[in-house]
Structure 1
Amino acid sequence: MTDLKKKSERTRNRLLTAASRIFAEKGFQEATIAEICEQAQTNIASVNYHFRDKETLYLESWRFAFNRELSQYPPDGGISRDAAPEKRLAALIHSLIERVADEDGYAFAILYKEMARPTRLLADILEKEIEPQRSQMFELLRECLGQAAEERHLQFCHDSIMGQCFQLLRLKQIQLARHRRQPPAANGDIKAYADHVVQFSLAGIQALRSRFP
């Protein structure tokens, strides 16, 4: 790669990093290209060159944040696919919570803003990127609950787990708004919170499973 291409790639990454942070803090509507360029230490011409417009920058910054965080906190947590489904579900929950709580993680925070003030811009990309994650959790829940479980039981368990993760995200949004950067879990202990969510969820799943033949 030539020096010119390396410089261009660095500029692109600075823009994506700055954009994901600002979109997470302010949402699409309130974020400005000028502020993103200021944080990225570049100019509007660079945005036009790499992304054409604010909408494309929004999409690409979310994908950039999502893939970076997924790489940093793999959903399998290093657990073998041959492990018990409860262990694999525990690893997935830990991955979710670590991604939400990471002070430099912005993908879920952007989604939170999107839910509050929808732009519809993320619809296609979410289906491609998020749906595989959702399907993975449903498969694990099916294994944990047993084949007798109805679809609504899977949905309820999924919603319960995600609700606990998104509670942490809500606290993180409050801190982002106040420009604080400490982890938002109770007592700052992310692992303890994740362990609690795992134990609480698995106990509920076990209680549900006992009701099925």
Structure 2
Amino acid sequence: MSRKKSHTTREKILSAACDVFVEKGFRDATVAEICKRAGANISAVNYYFGSKEALYQETWHHSFAESMKAHPQDGGVSADAPAEERLRGHLKALVERIADESTRDFFISQMEVANPTGLLEEVMRLEFDPLRDKTLAVVRELLGPDATERHVDFCETGIISMCIYPMMMRRVRLRHGATAIGPPVAFVDDLGAFADHVVAFALAGIAALRRQL
């Protein structure tokens, strides 16, 4: 098998696996269906990935890498910029990444949360921990030297949570419309304005907490 054909087959399997895992989750997805959609022999999964479990992990990892390539964590803001601008870059990138319908890692993650396998836990930790460390560093800088790690952790968790749920509900409603299940949340139609609002809200909260320390 030529290197070009091998690469193409592997990519087709990853693409098909992504669709199937998003639609059905790990347990209800079958290697047979993935290979059928990819136009590949059923033995190709073992040849390229070793197992269905390894394919699942690589599918999420591949989807996440594509998502980060499209929406880098810094949001286009220089590492030398003030902490306020760097925080805005982080949150803008996060909002855009979750809202982007072409990124699939969040839907795979949702299916994993709904029906856990434990297969993505380590893969996700290895990717998310370095990203979180960078955001924690920005928050720590904004809070000042008197902040404890507990203060930093709580602030970072609160800020990120403000981004994730509205954007996830936005994706669900775009996909399912009026049939989407969940508590009412304002539909975000201006991602930039929403990111600016979250940053302003977060900076005001951080400033208020810093005055109390």
TM-score of the aligned structures, taking structure 1 as reference length = 0.86
CA deviation after TM superposition for structure 1 residue 175, in Å = 4.6
CA deviation after TM superposition for structure 1 residue 92, in Å = 0.7
Instruction: Kindly provide the amino acid, as one letter, of the partner of residue 163 in structure 1.
Output: S
Query: Separation in 1 of the partners of 2:48 and 2:171?
Result: 30
RMSD (Å) for aligned C-alpha atoms = 2.3
Tell me which residue corresponds to 2:23. 25
Distance 1:102 1:147, change over 3 A: same
- Equivalent of 1:128 in 102, 126, 132: 126
Distance 1:191 1:22, change over 3 A: farther
Tell me which residue corresponds to 1:181. none
CA contact (8 A) 1:109 1:173 kept: no
Tell me which residue corresponds to 1:39. 37
Tell me which residue corresponds to 2:191. 190
CA contact (8 A) 1:76 1:91 kept: yes
- Equivalent of 2:50 in 49, 52, 55: 52
- Equivalent of 1:88 in 83, 86, 89: 86
Pairing 1:109–2:110 present: no
Which has the larger displacement, 165-174 or 116-125?
A: 165-174
Instruction: Kindly provide the amino acid, as one letter, of the partner of residue 211 in structure 1.
Output: Q
CA contact (8 A) 1:15 1:47 kept: yes
CA contact (8 A) 1:37 1:43 kept: yes
Instruction: Kindly provide the amino acid, as one letter, of the partner of residue 168 in structure 2.
Output: L
Instruction: Kindly provide the amino acid, as one letter, of the partner of residue 203 in structure 2.
Output: L
Tell me which residue corresponds to 1:172. 171
Instruction: Kindly provide the amino acid, as one letter, of the partner of residue 172 in structure 1.
Output: R
Tell me which residue corresponds to 2:207. 206
CA contact (8 A) 2:99 2:170 kept: no
Query: Separation in 1 of the partners of 2:186 and 2:33?
Result: 29
Distance 1:40 1:195, change over 3 A: farther
Count of residue correspondences: 206
Query: Separation in 1 of the partners of 2:50 and 2:186?
Result: 38
SS at match of 1:210: helix
Tell me which residue corresponds to 1:11. 9
Tell me which residue corresponds to 1:74. 72
CA deviation after TM superposition for structure 1 residue 83, in Å = 0.7
CA deviation after TM superposition for structure 1 residue 177, in Å = 5.9
Instruction: Kindly provide the amino acid, as one letter, of the partner of residue 2 in structure 2.
Output: L
Query: Separation in 2 of the partners of 1:191 and 1:43?
Result: 45
Structure 2: state its 5+ residue gaps: 178-184
Query: Separation in 2 of the partners of 1:142 and 1:86?
Result: 12
Query: Separation in 2 of the partners of 1:104 and 1:75?
Result: 17
CA contact (8 A) 1:18 1:40 kept: yes
Structure 1: state its 5+ residue gaps: 179-183
Query: Separation in 2 of the partners of 1:27 and 1:174?
Result: 19
